[in-house]
Amino acid sequence: MQKKILISLILIFSAFLSFSQNPLETPKIDSVSVNRFGKKATISWVKDTSGKINGYVIICAHSSSITQPDKIDTIKNINATFYIDNTSKPYEREEKYRIATYNGPLLSPWSKTHTTIFAYISNYDSCNANLTISWNKYINWDKGVKNYKIYYNINNSKYQLLSTVTDTNYTQYNLQRETQYSYYIMATSNDGKTSSSNETTKYTKMPTPPQYIDVNSVKVINNNAIKLSYKIDLRADIIKYQLLRAEDKTNNFDTIHTFDNFTNPLEYTDDDADINKQYDYKLIAINTCQIKTDSSKIVSNIVLTTKNNDDLTNTLQWNKLFADTTESYNIYRIIDNNDTLQLLMNIVDNSYIDDISNYIQSNIQGEFCYYIEAQINFSGNYELSISNISCVYQMPKVYIPNAFSPNSQITKNRTFTPNISFASPNKYIFIIYNRWGEKNFETKDVNQGWDGRYKGKPVPEGAYMYYIKFYTSKNKLYQKNGQITVFYH
């Protein structure tokens, strides 16, 4: 307290002298700056060359008005042009300085007050990855301030110029997460003087994003719903996930489900989906800032379409799981809805032609059902995605000879049997009539033919009428009649 009173008396006395005849000139402060390495304030001034002084007096106010300074110091070196204030704390506050020359008890008028630039992080937005650095104006340069240069470094690397402004704040965007940013400000006067601020730093602690959101599988289940499975990073700062769906490659995604509580794997069954229609799905992560921070790759359900051809082939086509990758596909076939599952092929294409000509003489009914199985590999973990089941029906193939010989030397030619492929054995009827309309033969067994006998005796040579009725695998009635000739060798 006594020190402050003494300093105040000196200021009053110097002010009184300034109004009287004072031979000493007012010194000019060049700048007040902060040494980033020593972290102390440095005041520099223009050397007094009058030869009338014994030295310099410096006063400083750390927190109060300069008219009530905290410190006074005397420099007895008349050639001195700078002073380092080792008691200053320019990393915590502004430091105000004035200087005067003295000769014995005589003080010159005090210089204008110059203040250190105190830079600080005034706002940090971890959610939007930006921060604002602010600082006080540098005042009392004769020519005024031209601009402020903002320098920065990342993780203690070399400082580089970030921007040049005339305001006293600046916002930097697109900050990297988990990174230390350091800044200092350099003010430049219109006549080339400079003043540097303290260094201020910020470590960018941000919500931890997911390291992965991987698609495990997209499966058609029970041939009426689509089940999706994702592998998620439970260590990330995520408060919820949203599952989005788009139709017909429109890219207009709508949220179909929000996961507020989640485990790994994250699964959802889309019961509203049409399994014969292609959808695009993606899973979006929302962090603790309520910001969409990451998403999975866009994945599609596999939609298989099939078509029967006249050349005893079936054509299969399907879409890819991912637009930008190639998967391998297993093709499975089921015939006539039995329990025998056949793996036909593993290919990387998205179409396949199935040759079914080997079944032309078989007893199958002509229903061929297929599905596709795709293999997804993420980080060595293999998951299977399954398409819809698509069925195709081959139309019946009927071959009926126009003559046969019951006493042929070739055994298989001794009976008249219609060759029918891809037909249902149910409700099958095969009838033979003679020329007078009398029924000579009838069977409901598709494997039984007519041996040319009636009531145990060979029928006479000549023309006979046949009638065939059966149903296709799609329960469509098929009827045919015609003429067969019986002859003997």
3-state SS, one letter per residue, for 139-180: CCCCCCEEEEEEEEEECCCCCEEEEEECCCEEEECCCCCCCE
Considering its fold, how many domains does the chain have in total?
Answer: 5
Q: Which residues of 315-346 are buried (b: 16+ CB within 10 A; e: fewer)?
A: ebbbbbbeeeeebebbbbbbbbeeeeeeeeee
Domain assignment present for residue 266? The answer is yes
pLDDT digits (tens, 9 = 90+) for 392-401: 988 888 889 9
Residue 133 is predicted with a pLDDT of 98
Residue numbers of the domain that contains 284: 213-297
pLDDT digits (tens, 9 = 90+) for 120-173: 999 999 999 999 999 999 999 999 999 999 999 999 999 999 999 999 999 999
Does position 6 have pLDDT exceeding 70, yes or no? no
Residue 337 is predicted with a pLDDT of 80
Does position 345 have pLDDT exceeding 70, yes or no? yes
pLDDT digits (tens, 9 = 90+) for 210-242: 999 999 999 999 999 999 999 999 999 999 999
Co-location of 52 and 33 in the same domain: yes
Query: Per-residue DSSP letters for 393-449?
Result: EPPPEEE--SEE-TT-SSGGGSSB--EEES-EEEEEEEEEE-TTS-EEEEE--TT--
**9 confidence band (pLDDT: 50, 70, 90):** very low
Q: What's the whole-model pTM score?
A: 0.70
**5 confidence band (pLDDT: 50, 70, 90):** very low
Final residue belonging to a domain, choices 371, 393, 415: 393
Co-location of 196 and 157 in the same domain: yes
Co-location of 439 and 415 in the same domain: yes
Residue 378 is predicted with a pLDDT of 57
195, two tokens: 């003043």
Contact, 70 vs 63, CB < 8 A? yes
pLDDT digits (tens, 9 = 90+) for 74-124: 999 999 999 999 999 999 999 999 999 999 999 999 999 999 999 999 999
Residue 10 is predicted with a pLDDT of 47
Q: Which ranges constitute the DSSP H helices of 157-261? A: none
Average pLDDT for residues 246-256, to the nearest whole number?
A: 87
Co-location of 334 and 309 in the same domain: yes
Cα 237 to its chain centre, rounded Å, is 16
Co-location of 186 and 250 in the same domain: no
Q: The sheet that has 169-172: what strands, in order across it?
A: 119-125, 130-135, 169-172
The alpha carbon torsion through 359, 361, 367, 370 (nearest 10 deg) reads: 0
Q: How many CA atoms lie within 13 A of 395 on its CB side?
A: 6
CATH number (domain holding residue 89): 2.60.40.10
Co-location of 56 and 90 in the same domain: yes
pLDDT digits (tens, 9 = 90+) for 199-217: 999 999 999 999 999 999 9
> Quick one: DSSP state of residue 321?
S
Report the percentage of the chain scoring pLDDT > 90. Answer: 76
